[in-house]
Amino acid sequence: MAKNKFKVIGVMSGTSLDGIDLVYVIFEKGKQWQFDIVYSETVAYPKFWEEQLTGLVANTFEELKVIDVAYTKYITGVIGDFIKKYNLNDIDAVCSHGHTALHQPEKKLTYQIGNLQMLAEVLGQKVVCDFRVQDVEYGGQGAPLVPIGDKLLFSDYDFCLNLGGFANISTDENDKRIAYDICPVNIVLNHYVKQLGFDYDDSGTIAASGSVNAELLDKLNALGFYKEAYPKSLGLEWVKVNIFPLIDAFQLEIKDILSTFVEHIAIQLAAEINKKELASVYVTGGGVYNAYLIERLKHYTNNTILIPENAIVEFKEALIFGFLGVLKLRNENNCLQSVTGANRDHSSGKIYLPEK
């Protein structure tokens, strides 16, 4: 019988470069999967790695391979410290995403650094990593990978909504998981609030103090992307072309820009979640701490907005990469064709064994 209980470390380095997220989590399969996050921590990047990772695209493939070795050494140290700090001597596997250095699925290319064999050798642990490569080989986008975790770990909720740089959502439609980006969130709010000298608009208080410009709001809501069918995704380039010039042309005060954009986000989020009635929406990502945004969202929907404990708000992705590793160890599918567009569901990831 397949093993049903796993103690793993899940590790994720996301696009915002705030640091490496680590969780020590126990997964157990009964009727459905249960999890318990025992320890969680974000290790902030030192300046050196923040700069290296910000500039990755400028490197040649050969240069990336050199950086990969150095980064794998670095992340091995971070994971090793986490193991020591919490005295973790009972680990089935370390399941690590690494950091995305290149992602061009149309050229069958995706490259996450930090996933070299050295991880297993130095840590003396079984390692599961490199989760995106096989999906791209099978014709998929190699992303998003989180929705299978949404489906199997958070099945009590009709929608899983993440408010990061962009808002993304996953839900079941006709028994299939679907996932897509909705609209930009913190990538735009942070951009404008920086002009007042803040990293972010704490709790949305500045937005709450502004007023909505109805004409700008209408123009934002009329953008073509919102009418497109899924699968669809957004990136910084789209924001630079479609959002910043549109907002800047109005020459508004920052508080009014923030107020108008929060209204826009709330309307776009509501348009998606209101596609189901009496639905529950499980919300994660830093945007959860923008109380004003959550208040405006609630204004536009009768569905139930559920905000979990902070450990899940902040560590859901690390948790789910831990879970993808568990599925790989059980040789079960951890990539969904309905989400990535691959030519099949499949069990993805490399397994490295420690030399003993």
Ligand X SMILES: CC(=O)N[C@H]1[C@@H]2OC[C@@H](O2)[C@@H](O)[C@@H]1O[C@H](C)C(=O)O
Ligand Y SMILES: Nc1ncnc2c1ncn2[C@@H]1O[C@H](COP(=O)(O)OP(=O)(O)OP(=O)(O)O)[C@@H](O)[C@H]1O
- Could you identify the residue written with the tokens 């950091």? 99
Residue closer to ligand X (CB basis): 144 or 210:
144
Residue 117 structure tokens: 């064999």
- Which secondary structure element, helix H or strand E, spans residue 311, and what is its range? helix 310-329
Residue closer to ligand Y (CB basis): 18 or 172:
18
Q: Does 182 participate in binding ligand X (rule CB under 6 A)? A: no
Question: By C-alpha distance, which of 253, 281, 245 is closest to 266?
Answer: 281
| Binders in 145-164 for ligand X, by CB under 6 A | 145-146
Amino acid at 156: D
Amino acid at 108: K
CA distance 212 to 202: 19
CA distance 121 to 226: 47
CB of 171 to ligand Y, least distance (A): 17
In the list ligand X, ligand Y, none, the entry touching 103 (Cβ below 5 to 8 angstroms by class) is ligand X
- Could you identify the residue written with the tokens 């958070």? 154
- The one segment of 39-47, 143-151, 206-214, 291-299 that binds ligand X by CB under 6 A: 143-151
CB of 180 to ligand X, least distance (A): 10
CB of 229 to ligand X, least distance (A): 18
Strands 20-29 and 33-43: what pairing?
A: antiparallel
Amino acid at 33: W
List residues near ligand Y by CB under 6 A: 14-16, 162, 164-166, 186, 189-190, 200-204, 285-287, 289-290
CA distance 35 to 314: 15
Q: Does 144 participate in binding ligand X (rule CB under 6 A)? A: yes
CB of 201 to ligand X, least distance (A): 21
CB of 302 to ligand X, least distance (A): 28
Which DSSP symbol is given to 288? G
Q: Which of 29, 65, 73, 103 binds ligand X (CB under 6 A)?
A: 103
By the criterion CB under 6 A, which residues form the site for ligand X?
14-15, 100, 103, 142-146, 317
